[in-house]
Amino acid sequence: MSNTQAELLRALNEAHGQALFRYVARLTGDYSFAQDVVQEAMLRAWKRPEILEQGDESARAWLFTVARNLVIDDRRSARYGHEIVTDDIPERRSDDATDALLDSWLLSDALAMLSVEHRTAVVSAYYLGHSIAEIARREDIPEGTVKSRLHYALRALKLALQERGVTQ
């Protein structure tokens, strides 16, 4: 780059750099990106000496067009589509009992739809952790009956949960 080109680029930057920055900042709302765009537009002007030698208004129009195209290209890029810029840190997920509470309400409601025998079998086996033999002994019924009650109770429970939109 000759001294003349360097002087022309410096004059171009002094004449139009601030206005170009304000234009890009207004387009994007991102000041650091606006600085990058202005720098890239000036770099492209430096690479094309014929731009530096044009009249002041032609060079200004060329710079603004280049800057606008750089912004459009950036907004169309995959990087922009996936990047989220924010000054606020998102809230951290906190474990609360809301989901568990809703699940227990739905399950309690579905269990209430079962017969007393089926509900007793399910609660004894799955919530209290009793074995088939223990349930049979406590209820004074054969083990096969306990197995049968569990089988039909689970089918009825599944149907009750499907009616509530919990399962498919």
The per-residue pLDDT for 67 is 92
- Report d(CA 144, CA 126) in Å as an integer: 17
**Torsion of the alpha carbons at 112, 114, 119 and 121, rounded to the nearest 10:** -170
Q: What is the C-alpha radius of gyration for the chain, rounded to an integer number of angstroms?
A: 36
Structural domain boundaries of the chain? 3-82, 109-163
Q: What is the mean pLDDT of each run of 10 residues along the chain (168 residues)?
A: 74 87 89 90 84 79 90 78 67 74 86 92 92 94 94 92 79
Neighbours of 132 (CB within 10 A): 16
The per-residue pLDDT for 83 is 61
- Report d(CA 44, CA 103) in Å as an integer: 61
The per-residue pLDDT for 85 is 67
Fold match flag (3-82 vs 109-163): no
How far, in whole angstroms, is CA 17 from its chain's centroid? 37
Question: How many alpha carbons fall within 13 Å on the CB side of residue 57?
Answer: 0
User: In this structure, which topology does domain 3-82 adopt according to CATH?
Assistant: Rna Polymerase Sigma Factor; Chain: A (1.10.1740)
In sequence order, what are the residues at sequence separation of 6 or more whose Cβ sits closer than 8 angstroms to the Cβ of residue 13? 42
Name the one residue in this structure whose structure tokens are 């912004």.
Answer: 71
Query: Is the Cα dihedral 32, 71, 75, 43 positive or negative?
Result: negative
Helix residue spans in 29-142 (DSSP H):
31-47, 49-52, 56-76, 78-82, 98-112, 116-122, 132-139
Do 70 and 40 form a contact (C-beta atoms < 8 A)?
A: yes
- Report d(CA 20, CA 38) in Å as an integer: 7
User: In this structure, which topology does domain 109-163 adopt according to CATH?
Assistant: Arc Repressor Mutant, subunit A (1.10.10)
